[in-house]
Structures are given as C-alpha cells and as structure tokens.
Amino acid sequence: MTQQNNLFICGLACALLLAPGCNQQKHANISTTDLYRLHCSGCHGDGTGNGHIAQTLKTRPRNLQHKEWQSSVSDEHIQKVIRDGGLSAKLSEEMPAFATKLTEQQIAGLTQYIRRLGM
Ligand code: HEC
C-alpha cells in the first residue's frame, strides 16, 4: 500500500471514529518522510531552508545539510529544538515547538532524518 493511501485511511479512521485524543499526527503509521513533509518542509524545504514559507520568516532557517553545522550539534540539541522550539536553544522563536504534535519516537526519527540530510 502506498504512503498516501496509508495517510488517507488513517485520516478516514480518525474522522469516522471521532475518538477523543485520536490525533492523526501522532499516528504511529505515518512515515518519517511524511512527517517531515507535513511539519517541516514548509520552512526547511529540502533542508537548505528553501521552503515556501521561509521567505516570510524573519530568520531564514539555516542549511541543515551543511556538514559543519551537522558536526557542531548533538542529537540531543536537534531533538530539543524540535520538541521545545527555537527559543529553548536561543534560536529564532519562529522555529515552533512540536512537543504536543509529535511523539518522542517521531522526534527521534526526524533527528535521524536530519542527520541523513547532511550526508
Ligand atoms: C514556521 C517555520 C518552521 C517550521 C514549520 C519548522 N522550522 Fe525548524 N527552524 C525554523 C527557524 C526559523 C529556525 C531557526 C534558525 C536559526 O535561528 O538559525 C529553525 C531551526 C531548526 C533547527 C535547529 C537548527 C540549528 O541552528 O541548530 C532544527 C534541527 C529544525 N529547525 C528542525 C525542524 C524540524 C524537524 C521541523 C519539523 C518537525 C521544523 N524544524 C519545522 C523554522 C521552522
């Protein structure tokens, strides 16, 4: 089954069940690539910071593919920024916090995804 179908069925199931706390974004079946597309690429684009929203930001998201940046930060830093937002690491407040939208596992997955961008 394609990822798109998966997403559709997940959304449909959530809509039909109308279960309290049924949060599509926290659904375990969504792939890390889709999570990145859904939550991050609007600003970060392919990692270089060329997302369509990026032009409207005061702070241009840095190039996450950059090797020097990659080696200057720990996985913990990346996870913290995703979980608690830019301000938590003295970066731009325009980097949102995803603690309520993503599980710890998804944040860890996205961290590895970002690591792969730098290769
Ligand atoms: C609304 C735009 C926006 C969205 C959406 C967004 N970011 Fe960011 N992100 C930023 C900005 C702006 C910065 C700060 C860049 C700076 O201060 O140099 C940032 C910083 C970061 C950093 C830290 C870079 C550093 O300098 O240490 C990481 C990692 C990151 N974002 C990952 C993500 C991930 C993963 C997602 C999706 C879950 C995401 N971002 C969603 C705008 C965004």
Structure tokens at 107: 């944040």
Q: Are 91 and 77 in contact (CB under 8 A)?
A: no
Is 60 exceeded by the pLDDT of residue 20?
no
User: pTM for the whole thing?
Assistant: 0.83
109 shares a domain with 55? yes
What does the alpha-carbon distance between residue 77 and residue 2 come to, in Å, rounded to a whole number? 33
CB atoms within 10 A of CB 66: 15
Percentage of residues of the chain with pLDDT beyond 90: 74
CATH number assigned to the domain comprising residue 61: 1.10.760.10
> Which alpha helices (DSSP H) does the chain contain, by range?
3-17, 32-39, 41-44, 67-72, 75-84, 104-117
Give yes or no: residues 71 and 19 share one domain. no
What is the position in ligand 1's atom list of the atom closest to the CA of 35?
A: 38
Q: How many domains does the chain have?
A: 2
Per residue in 28-86, pLDDT (tens digit) is 689 999 999 999 999 999 999 999 999 999 999 999 999 999 999 999 999 999 999 99
Of residues 1 and 54, which shows the higher confidence score? 54
Cα(95) to centroid of ligand 1, in Å? 5
Q: Which of 38, 55, 95 to mutate to test the pocket of ligand 1 (most atoms within 8 A of CB)?
A: 95
